[in-house]
Structure 1
């Protein structure tokens, strides 16, 4: 599916959509450049690449949800519902990318340090699925995972030069919204 994103041409509405959320006059490029100058050391880049691989297509988060379902048999349905919420968050991010069609950073000041399955950038699917997983799995584990995992994943996307700050902010917001919706749907099913 990600390959299809690159092969499909821009929709007739794409220029207007891209203009509506285009990065402000280089501010986001300057932010990426500053993040890379401050943090893109070899150990940080290696860690960011590992995080990128883990989060690709939400695969690592989905695997953790399935592991939770296998280990915590008493709450198997809850884990599977949470994993479905993570999958829905990832799918929502891909849908928004196809509508918005913002291109990934492409500026001489920004180094792209990892490959991506698509050239589309808004919102960050990694930030979206990570936020959904942190909220949904955190509830099941009885702990707050959001502060521990969302900022590092969001920052890693900027360290690698593949997302603007607004991409990761929008992804985080979208992931939180899908997690909230998943939680409400789950509570309604329990109340029936």
Structure 2
């Protein structure tokens, strides 16, 4: 319990003891919302949520890349397919794990969701896959600029626990690495 006290604070540990339903993740989510859920941040998080819904924004970027970069069109298409595969993998894991979204009375749900399943975050999954795959094609390090803001946005909006976004990011990174290996092998055969 001492480690938990250091992480979330002694008053929060008292809350955890009083209400067994309140987990350390719930307390962390409350703190994120309390600190960051200001109108401008929520507005930005809403826009990010819309962009990332069903990986649509990331898939559109892959299509634009394929149209604009004729020499590497196949690689862009494969990268976009990797983003789609990452999103599909997150949906499959959600259906197996079946963790419900946060329902704490102190957490505001600030956006609609297509399902009531929380683990892992599909937005974090597809964003990480897109950052890794498209970053490899553009030669830019996109992961630090794209992934943390998307992860935090899901917490600000109150639709995911911290472990949901971390697991989503790990899953997206794993799918992206498998996709990159496939792309490398294909390039070496050509």
- TM-score, normalised via structure 2 length: 0.87
Q: C-alpha separation between the residues in 2 aligned to 1:36 and 1:25?
A: 16
Matches within 5 A, 1:68-83: 68-83=65-80
Matches within 5 A, 1:116-131: 116-131=113-128
Match of residue 100 from structure 2: 103
Question: Structure 1: where are the runs of 5+ without partners?
Answer: 1-23
Q: C-alpha separation between the residues in 2 aligned to 1:25 and 1:39?
A: 20
CA contact (8 A) 1:29 1:109 kept: no
Task: Give the count of matched residue pairs.
Answer: 169
Match of residue 8 from structure 1: none
Question: Structure 2: where are the runs of 5+ without partners?
Answer: 1-20
Match of residue 173 from structure 1: 170
Matches within 5 A, 1:125-144: 125-144=122-141
CA contact (8 A) 1:102 1:121 kept: yes
Match of residue 53 from structure 2: 56
CA drift at 1:190: 2.1
Which of structure 1's runs of 4+ aligned residues deviate more than 3 A?
A: none
The alignment's C-alpha RMSD in Å is 1.0
Local SS of the residue matching 1:186 = helix
